[in-house]
Amino acid sequence: MQTKPDYGVDAPGVMLTFFLLGFACLLLAAFAPHTIHLGSVKIETRTFFWPAGFLIGEGLLFLLYVKFGKFRHRDFMLGMHEWQGDERVLDVGCGRGLLLAGAAKKIAEHRGTGHATGIDIWSNTDMAANSAAATERNLELEGISQICTLVSEPAQEMPFESESFHLVVSNLCLHNIYDRPTRRQAIEQISRVLKPGGMAILSDYKLTGEYAEQLTRMGFAVEKRRGSFITTFPPLTVVLARKPQ
Ligand SMILES: C[S@@+](CC[C@H](N)C(=O)[O-])C[C@H]1O[C@@H](n2cnc3c(N)ncnc32)[C@H](O)[C@@H]1O
């Protein structure tokens, strides 16, 4: 029986690939004959220590993010808003509830009437053991499930009323929407559901320029901030965008 919240491993296949390829290179470099001939190609196996170090290093940085960095990054993101406690917050691609629970705890700390909603399609490629049930369990263990709602829909087809959230947050979700028109649709949805004067705090490891550009064209006041280069892997950038009044 799970007794502590578990916010899961992001992109588990990517981390596994770093470690598997890294250790394969390490074994080759350490135990294979120093020189291998593949037809006319001569391979010096000791040189494989370099990719081994690089890949295992990347895997370890990823592990550091999953175990420690993501909580620091959550605090960095949620610290960009001045909490009152009455906010209606939406976490887009909430996964196992990292930002969702963080936002709900901020509301609870202020003893406010706010509410936090998470929307996700529960992809197990993007997050290990991802499901509404796993997230619900985390929210219960955090003691904030009564002020949270989970919605199982894609970000590009949000079922919420227009102008219903003060704050929209999202971490490492939008790049998973692979085609540009659908990503644009997701950003349009974020804009639609935000109240005038509301704020979007969108974090990702790529495509943040695209999000910033689209939001700027929609009239948002946009700023970009970088997450830590050591504890976020891949390094994350946050787009902070205020909807016009
Ligand atoms: C890497 S996880 C990050 C989860 C969470 N935001 C966090 O930081 O721990 C990406 C999440 O985005 C979700 N996702 C991917 N595409 C989505 C879409 N089109 N609509 C909603 N959620 C999506 C995945 O199911 C997954 O939970």
pLDDT exceeds 90 at position 1: no
pLDDT category at 172 given cuts 50, 70, 90 is very high
Q: How many Å apart are CA 162 and CA 229, to the nearest integer?
A: 36
pLDDT tens figures, 184-205: 999 999 999 999 999 999 999 9
Is the confidence at residue 2, as pLDDT, over 90?
A: no
DSSP calls for 47-106? GGHHHHHHHHHHHHHHHHIIIIIHHHHHHHHHTTS---S--EEEEET-TTTHHHHHHHHH
The residues, any chain, with a CB within 8 Å of residue 67's CB and separated by 6 or more, are: none
Whether residue 154 has its Cβ less than 6 Å from ligand 1: yes
Beta bridge pairs of residue 77: none
% of the chain at pLDDT higher than 70? 100
**Encoding tokens for residue 202?**
């969108």
- In the prediction, which pLDDT does 206 show? 97
**DSSP-based three-state secondary structure for 145:** helix
Describe the strand order of the beta sheet including 148-151 as a list of residue ranges: 148-151, 115-119, 88-92, 165-171, 194-204, 237-242, 221-226
Partner residues linked to 10 by β-bridges: 127
What are the pLDDT digits (tens) for 33-75?
A: 999 998 899 999 999 999 999 999 999 999 999 999 999 999 9
- CA–CA separation, 226 and 231 (whole Å): 12
pTM: 0.94
pLDDT at position 222 is: 98
Q: Is 130 in the pocket of ligand 1 (CB under 6 A)?
A: yes
Q: How far is the CA of 139 from the centre of ligand 1 (A)?
A: 17
Mutate to test the pocket of ligand 1, among 71, 125, 153, 173 (most ligand atoms within 8 A of CB): 173
What CATH number belongs to 83-242? 3.40.50.150
Q: Is the CB of 10 under 6 A from ligand 1?
A: yes
Is any atom of ligand 1 closer than 6 Å to the C-beta of 87? no
- If DSSP codes are grouped into helix, strand and coil, which group holds residue 18? helix
The pick from 121, 138, 153, 202 for probing ligand 1's pocket by mutation, whose C-beta has the most ligand atoms within 8 angstroms, reads 121
Whether 176 contacts 93, CB under 8 Å: yes
Longest Cα–Cα distance of the chain, Å, equals 73
Residue 36 Cα to ligand 1 middle (Å): 44
Residue type, 223: E
Instruction: Report the separation in Å between the CA atom of 30 and the middle of ligand 1, taken as the mean of its atom positions.
Output: 39
Rounded average pLDDT over 156-181: 98
* pLDDT (tens digit per residue) in 209-219: 999 999 999 99
Q: Where in the chain is the domain with CATH 3.40.50.150?
A: 83-242
CA dist 162 and 160 (Å) reads 6
pLDDT reported for residue 129? 94
Average pLDDT along the chain: 96
Q: What is the pLDDT of residues 108-143, one digit of tens each?
A: 999 999 999 999 999 999 999 999 999 999 999 999
CB of 208 closer than 8 Å to CB of 224: yes
